[in-house]
Amino acid sequence: MKNFAKNFVKRKEFGIILIVVILSVILTFLSSAFLTVTNIMDFMKSNSVYGIMAFGMLPVLISAGIDLSVSATIALSAVVIGKFMLAFPNSNPVIVILVAMIVGAVVGVVNGLIITKFNIPPIVTTLGVMTIVNGAVLLGTGGAWISGLPQWWVSFGSFKLFGIIPTQLFMLIFAGLVTWLILKFTLVGRGIYAVGGSQSSAVRVGYNVNRILIFIYAFCGMMAGLGAAAHISIVGQVDPNTYTGYELDVISTVVLGGASVMGGTGTVFGTTLGVILMAVLKNGLILARIPNYWQKVVMGLVIIIAVSVDVINRKREQAKLVRVDVEE
Amino acid sequence: MNFFKNLRSKHSNELTLAIIFIGIFVLMSILSPDKFLSGNNIKTMMFQMPEFGLMAIAMMIAVLTGGINLSITTGAALSSIVCAFILSSEFSQNNNALGIVLGLIACMAVAVICGVINGYVVAYIGVAAMLVTLGSKTLFEGLGLAFTKGGSISGFPEAYSFLGNGSVLGIPFPIILYIVVIIVSYLLIERSAWGTEVYMVGCNEIATRFSGINTKKTLLKVYIYSGVMSGLASILISSRYNSAKTDYGSSYMMQAVTAVVLGGTSISGGHGTVAGTVLAVAIVQVISTGLNILGVNRYIINIITGGILIVVLALRYITKVMEDNRKIKERAAATAK
């Protein structure tokens, strides 16, 4: 038990838990509204979209890649399901969500194919795809909103289990669970960590790296699609312009959760904590009555400090290892 | 003859880009001779291209070291906002010249500070550039928003608008500044000791450190240079708009990455030339202005830009594979003999 506690304290996630707990304690003192079930459910609901997309982004970052196109993918999925619902008003939420995920996955497969077949770095590929998809979305809609979604969709979005747990939280849990299962129990999951650790070693071990990469980007796109469904179910209309800049927020969330952009590391547990940290932080800034304008300053500082502390800790750890080597 | 051979082997990428640029320029001129080739349009492009070009150079130097600088546009906006506070103050209204000089100094000072923040965390703490600049992008944007309360600042002395709109002997001032910056950047990046270090860090940072170079200092200077370039761009932008706001120029960030990569700079660092970036900037500018004149929808122009990025890189990969195959065959034939 002592050993377990010791290991747990050493783990990367411990730092994030500590920050979340300290923040929560401060916020509870600052505002009595913070530690209520309604408030927690509310801010988790409004952050579920980032969370769902973060779970999609996690495998990408583990594989040492990056996907900048998620903001365009979510916009495309949102527009497609918006039009889909207007065209088929007698459909149902399950079909709509499936459509959104399929659209996202298609964009992801395109990303994966370009990355693997033409050997173009992920950051450049997804930047190009983002520009193209974004252009296509705005061309198709003219930037206009889509509203007047069917009633069953609106009630699906505002449904709460036992009057407490919102639909979007289930989507978030679903996304986290699927990602966890893939990373923990499947061959592909192992492959993702292997590719992130060293791509050439993964090839030698016998992984089909190209197939794994295509899967990763398809999965990321699919989660962006699910994110679109979650977002549309919250706001009840489609604004194709609202998603610009989402990619950076999503990446920040995953990185705050302890994943490295160098690849090889990152866990679903960490990302979950990253999502919770982001949500608590945003909610806390509002409850603490900090003017809207200063929120970005705090966010930026948190990101810089979090990634710096992480690197400093790792360096210290490595220095310790070196010393052990020398002493022995 | 030797000169051309040298040009082809050493600068094949720049040569291809130059041919593409001339091709597109000629194509646009044929498609719309009266509008595209008009003196007015050429002048407009000369006013618009420099700020984009400066941002691209700011991005390029970070990419050369294997990093990236996502904070160029928000850092630029922050420096122009600080500059705008001084320009619109009562002091500057009374002392135009001194006010503008102070404003410009403040602008560059903020740009340098932004660069130092990025550079310090990247070089001395050792965090991946992507993450640092992701954070500082949000930080600078937040500071800009907090200072301006989300609005724009205007009311500059009239003389300030010269920097973005004026001409010297008929040549737009921004293009003069741009050309000076190109020459200075060329000398610093491709002809100085520091520049060589920049390329070395981009190829292999650890090997560079072990060969006795203070890579931390090199990297810090890289991000300061990047900050200074975006600061210069911010002066042109605020002068052209005659105001300062956080989201002015924000679209240049992704465009700058596009131009840098299109210009042949390797995103993993170590390779790339100033000339390539400058040519790529010119290509993107001519395409967007030209298509705009032809009445093509702005969104289609975006789609085309993204498409060009992927197609050019795909072609580059395919030609490389073909070249490699040819070499292997030649060698095989040679050994068979």
pLDDT 10s digit of each residue in chain A, 328 long? Answer: 556 666 655 566 777 888 888 888 888 887 777 777 788 888 888 889 999 999 999 999 999 888 989 999 999 999 999 888 888 888 888 898 999 999 999 999 999 999 998 888 888 899 889 989 988 998 888 878 888 788 888 877 777 777 778 888 889 999 999 999 999 899 888 999 998 888 888 888 888 899 999 999 999 999 999 999 999 988 888 888 888 878 888 988 898 887 777 777 888 988 999 899 888 888 888 887 788 778 888 888 888 887 888 788 778 878 887 776 666 5
Mutation pick from A107, A110, A124 vs chain B, by most beta carbons of B within 10 Å, is A124
H helices of B32-171, where? 33-36, 39-64, 72-87, 90-94, 96-119, 129-148, 162-165
Nearest to B294 by CA among B45, B36, B104, B7: B36
* Alpha carbon distance A46, A169 (integer Å): 9
Residue with tokens 């072609």: B315
Q: How many CB atoms lie within 10 A of CB A254?
A: 27
ipTM over 0.90: no
Q: Which residue of A has its CA nearest to B265?
A: A124
CA–centroid distance for B147 within its chain: 26
Query: Which of these CATH numbers, 1.10.1200, 1.10.3470, 1.20.1070, 3.30.43, describes B39-319?
Result: 1.10.3470
Q: What is the dihedral of CA B311, A260, B266, B111, to 10 degrees?
A: 110
Beta partners for residue A238, in sequence order: A146
Say which CATH topology domain A15-289 has: ABC transporter involved in vitamin B12 uptake, BtuC (1.10.3470)
Phi, psi of A291 (to 5 degrees): -55, 145
Cβ-count burial of A121 within 10 angstroms (0-12 exposed, 13-18 middle, 19+ buried)?
Answer: middle
Nearest chain A Cα distance for residue B324, angstroms: 15
Q: What is the DSSP string of A277-289?
A: HHHHHHHHHHHTT
Instruction: Reduce the DSSP state of residue A327 to 3 states and report it.
Output: helix
Q: What is the pLDDT of residue A328?
A: 55
Chains A, B: CB contacts within 8 A come to: 144
Q: Which residue of A has its CA nearest to B133?
A: A304
* Alpha carbon distance B17, B259 (integer Å): 11
Q: A41, A165 in Cβ contact below 8 A? A: yes
Residue B168 pLDDT > 70, yes or no?
Answer: yes
Cβ-count burial of B273 within 10 angstroms (0-12 exposed, 13-18 middle, 19+ buried)?
Answer: buried
User: Quick one: tokens of A310?
Assistant: 């992480």
Least confident window among A76-80, A272-276, B44-48, B207-211: B44-48
Nearest chain B Cα distance for residue A132, angstroms: 4
* Alpha carbon distance B90, B316 (integer Å): 55
Beta partners for residue A166, in sequence order: A160
| Contact (CB<8Å) B303/A132 | yes
In chain B, domain spans? 39-319
Diameter of chain A by CA atoms? 73
* Alpha carbon distance B320, B232 (integer Å): 37
Facing residue for A261 by CB, picked from B130, B261, B301: B130
User: Quick one: tokens of A254?
Assistant: 């995953």
Phi, psi of A155 (to 5 degrees): -70, -30
- Helix then strand then coil, in percent of chain B rounded to 5, is 80, 0, 20
Q: Which residue of A has its CA nearest to B315?
A: A118
Residues of B in contact with A260 (CB under 8 A): 128
Chain B residues in contact with chain A using a Cβ-Cβ cutoff of 8 Å: 68, 70, 121, 125-128, 130-132, 134-143, 145-146, 149-150, 254, 257-258, 261, 267-268, 297, 299-303, 305-307, 309-310, 313-314, 317-318
* Alpha carbon distance B242, B100 (integer Å): 13
* Alpha carbon distance B249, B62 (integer Å): 19
User: Quick one: tokens of B267?
Assistant: 């995103």
> Rounded to two decimals, what is the model's pTM?
0.85
pLDDT digit string, tens, across residues B105-156 = 999 999 999 999 999 999 888 888 888 888 898 899 889 988 888 788 888 8
pLDDT digit string, tens, across residues B186-205 = 999 888 988 889 898 888 88
* Alpha carbon distance A324, A326 (integer Å): 5
User: Quick one: tokens of B128?
Assistant: 């991946």
Instruction: Reduce the DSSP state of residue A242 to 3 states and report it.
Output: coil
Angle at B57 between CA B54 and CA B62, to 5 degrees: 135
What sign does the CA torsion over A61, A66, A72, A77 have? negative
Facing residue for A124 by CB, picked from B131, B303, B309: B309
Extended strands (E) in chain A: 160-161, 165-166
Q: A25, A149 in Cβ contact below 8 A? A: no
* A4–B contact, CB cutoff 8 A: no
- Going from the C-alpha of A46 to that of each of A7, A148, A230, A239, B180, the distances in angstroms are 34, 21, 9, 16, 49
Q: B209, B105 in Cβ contact below 8 A? A: no
Q: What is the pLDDT of residue B4?
A: 62
| Contact (CB<8Å) A304/B136 | yes
Angle at B304 between CA B299 and CA B305, to 5 degrees: 95
Nearest chain B Cα distance for residue A160, angstroms: 34
Q: What is the pLDDT of residue B109?
A: 94
| Contact (CB<8Å) A300/B70 | no
CA–centroid distance for A282 within its chain: 16
